[in-house]
Amino acid sequence: MVQTIEAASAAVVGLAVGAAVPERLLGQERWPRGKKRPFDSDEEPNSYKDITTYNNFYEFGTDKSDPAKNSGNFKLSPWTVNVEGLVKKPAAYHLEDFIKPHKLEDRIYRLRCVEGWSMVIPWLGFPLAGLIKRVEPTSKAKYVTFETVYRPEEMIGQRRPYLNWPYVEGLRLDEAMHPLTLLAAGLYGKGLPNQNGAPLRLVVPWKYGFKSIKSIVKIGFVEKEPPTTWNISAPDEYGFYSNVNPEADHPRWSQKSERRIGEFLKRKTVMFNGYAEQVGYLYAGMDLKKHF
């Protein structure tokens, strides 16, 4: 389903700035089956309850239930996204103006956490490539950087030194331009809940989930590989690329299998989280155990 900004973004942004989630969604609603789109997983999406109550978002705490419990007072309006660096059209956008030129579409993607669990999530967003073309990177731009909002008065996890705040991430420019790479403003056809990275987050389905940075306020374009939060925290455990790779184990656990939330038995993890056909060429000739 492709939706124009007039039809969809107003609803997405409206929910993103604090409208309550309908009670009927909590544990009840499943994603309706419809026509499969080119990028969609053919697997059954997790329930809305699964997706919104089992989260990693350390800005709101380290337990899986903390983001849902602790993010209720997080304010999403007004929201500004700064685009800066090696671009011809740097700007500070209000959220509505940031989204407005783009068509929002549903994308059903697999998500694989580096911890060994996974979900299938129906996102609502637009390809990051659309924004990149809009701001016109210069020829020197080789990487795209992202930064989460820093608001410790509202994000209680930022009051503790779990990580170096604010959270930062990065992609190679060709990764960012890939049509699978999404800027998501919603899930289940509705605005993102706070605990899932409202009002705007990155989704890169062939990489471990921590690469999909949440609550973005800054997007930059740089020439050299940028620092990323988990690589700063534990460089021997979390590389810049962090592609899903069952042959490159985490130093403390195997990456050969995963537990799908809602299932009892483990399933095998597949290369690039099942997106090898679409993205494998990006890493041709690279040693993915060395460049993990």
The verdict on residue 68 lying in a domain is yes
The verdict on residue 253 lying in a domain is no
**Distance (Å, whole) CA 284 – CA 173:** 16
Nearest Cα neighbor of 222 from 85, 97, 112 is: 85
Each residue of 2-54: pLDDT tens digit? Answer: 443 344 445 455 544 443 334 433 334 666 655 667 788 889 999 999 999 99
The verdict on residue 281 lying in a domain is no
Q: The CATH number of the domain where 152 resides is what?
A: 3.90.420.10
Question: Cis (ω within 30 of 0) for the bond into 45?
Answer: no
* Per-residue pLDDT, 34: 59
pLDDT higher than threshold 90 for residue 118: yes
CA 175 to chain centre: 14
Could you list the residue range(s) of the whole structural domain that residue 75 is in? 2-235
- In angstroms, the Cα distances linking 86 to 8, 118, 133, 250, 256 are 31, 35, 13, 34, 39
* Per-residue pLDDT, 38: 78
Domain count, the chain: 1
Each residue of 179-227: pLDDT tens digit? Answer: 999 999 999 999 999 999 999 999 999 999 999 999 999 999 999 999 9
